[in-house]
Amino acid sequence: MEPYIEKYLQWIESPVIKEEDKEELRKIENNTKEIEDRFYKDLEFGTAGLRGIIGMGTNRMNTYTVTKATQGLANYIIKKGGQNRGVAIAYDSRRMSPEFSEQAALCLNANGIKTYRFDSLRPTPELSFAVRELGCIAGIVVTASHNPPEYNGYKVYWEDGAQIVEPTDKEIIEEVNAITDFATIKTMDKSLAESKGLYNTIGENIDKRYIEELKKLVVNQKAIDETQKDIKIVYTPLHGTGNIPVQTILKELGFENVYVVPEQEKPNGEFPTVEYPNPEDPKAFELALKLAKEKDADIVLANDPDADRLGVYAKNKETGEYIRFNGNMTGNLIAEYILSQKQLNGTLPKNGAIIKTIVSSNLTDAIAKSYNVKLFSTLTGFKNIAKIIRQFEENNNEYTCLYSYEESYGCIIGTHARDKDGIVAVMTLCEAACYYKQKGMTLWDAMLAIYEKYGYYEEKQFSITLKGSEGAEQIKQMMEKMRNNPPKEIAGEKVLSFGDYQKQIIHDNETEKETNTNLPKSNVLYFDLTNDSWCCVRPSGTEPKIKFYMGVKGKSLGDAEQRLDKLENAMKEIIK
């Protein structure tokens, strides 16, 4: 008998699994492929927490896998003596998010750990802020970010408000994996937990403190005051958590012409108006762009459901059309705006720093150099950016982190939270739109000016989805093929160096010397090419995908696009 069939039968026979949950499993008793997908592995509690399809099974998001993760976290918190500091908990608009977040709270409460659960859905960055503001030992947010509606997820944050990193992540994972019997997972009655002061509800008070912190990050309120009546903003929360905080911050700063897409304003875990609630997907903007044309908007903005990412379209005043910004464009526009404004008003610190990930644009390097700001690069994932910010603080604030971003549509200005913040990104782009409007420029004009100043940098990524156990093996083989036989040339560009971040080595092809990456081990391959081109490959940590990133510097937008297409085609040939 296959191991996954054995696990399936164990669930059917277990006295811990509720009868209605067993009924869901009985309906697939003749579908071997479905049983295999649900039970061929345990839903892995990895460094990003849990993420999976909602449903019954070991490889699914459900009450049992969520509370197993929570019991492991509880055991770890108790070992660290942090139970009295408590855990902040937030959740998004997805199916089962309220239920999973409450079950997690009651599991922690049954272990004697205080919880501070938001009274309704909140953005992920506000959870990060709340952990720090309340002095909690940890935080949990129930979200699957921008994944399709059948998914949900569970992310763990530590006391600095950042997602868990080594060694904490591995130590928590060990505690979670040590739980083999669902019967050992604790829970308690909610009213009893409340009466004992273990279950606490938070809301408006934290909201106000969060908004006040964001307002401190405005660098040119004068531009807003003088121009906001001339700026028209279209915004969509894509049925998620961003609507109330975005409308609140923009109203408090003085913006009057903010138009929220009505069909997408209310939270809805089915995301009925989009195939995929991801601001990286142009299809997600169809309704917003329609409204923008009706209102003659200057800027069109969309948060993903947990509001940590932001997608942007800006008007081209020459054609009247709206230009799509990718994450690198948005990231660099904000970097240039913040640094230039701070330089103008005399608040740019001598120890200023910017942080990006290794798969983000090389344009950032040029911007940082121009303003004499130190640039730090790290592995993909905002938890790695947060780790560098923490190191700054531990080293007596050796550097002041002004701004951080990654190409996957996420950034944070300042350090009020330690995860990407789509709310502060909305605020800053609306502020920038005011400033450039004073100069007769749209945000697209501002982007063109950046290209003219630094060079025409362009980037793109593509991914290949390979589901199930067979797909996981294919992804593994692709990585090993490139790792063991790295190309010496890609798209007519010489490979100057090859970085294998699993081995923590960068091999210089010209000198044959090897240097340390000085970063944690990660299954990432990086090719640095001539003419400021590069490409990078890694498996996704949250989806059954292998991802390919690449960037070039061209003499014009057209030249950059041609170089980028050539590089993409060459990468696709390599993996055939």
pLDDT tens per residue, range 319-375? 999 999 999 999 999 999 999 999 999 999 999 999 999 999 999 999 999 999 999
User: What pLDDT does 237 receive?
Assistant: 98
User: What pLDDT does 542 receive?
Assistant: 65
State how far the Cα of 479 lies from the Cα of 169, in Å rounded to an integer. Answer: 24
State how far the Cα of 331 lies from the Cα of 566, in Å rounded to an integer. Answer: 24
Q: How far is CA 215 from CA 22, 218, 403, in A?
A: 50, 6, 15
Catalytic residue among 93, 97, 145, 340: 145
Query: 66 in the Ramachandran plot: left (φ > 0), alpha (ψ -120 to 50) or beta?
Result: alpha
The phi, psi pair for 542, rounded to 5°, reads: -125, -10
* Token pair recorded at residue 143: 């979200």
pTM of the model: 0.94
The reply to whether 145 belongs to the active site is yes
Exposed / middle / buried, residue 516 (Cβ in 10 Å: 0-12, 13-18, 19+): exposed
Q: How far is CA 73 from CA 205, 224, 273, 301, 414, in A?
A: 27, 45, 36, 36, 29
Residue of 528, 366, 551 lying closest to 457 (CA atoms): 551
State how far the Cα of 227 lies from the Cα of 243, in Å rounded to an integer. Answer: 23
User: What pLDDT does 47 receive?
Assistant: 73
Regions of the chain with pLDDT less than 50: none
Q: Are 314 and 443 in contact (CB under 8 A)?
A: yes
Domains in the chain, CATH or no CATH each: 41-202 (3.40.120.10), 211-454 (3.40.120.10), 457-574 (3.30.310.50)
User: What pLDDT does 469 receive?
Assistant: 78
User: What pLDDT does 166 receive?
Assistant: 86
Q: How far is CA 430 from CA 216, 486, 553, in A?
A: 15, 44, 28
User: What pLDDT does 576 receive?
Assistant: 74
State how far the Cα of 231 lies from the Cα of 433, in Å rounded to an integer. Answer: 7
Exposed / middle / buried, residue 211 (Cβ in 10 Å: 0-12, 13-18, 19+): middle
State how far the Cα of 306 lies from the Cα of 358, in Å rounded to an integer. Answer: 24
Strand-pair partners of 461: 549
Q: Are 184 and 67 in contact (CB under 8 A)?
A: no
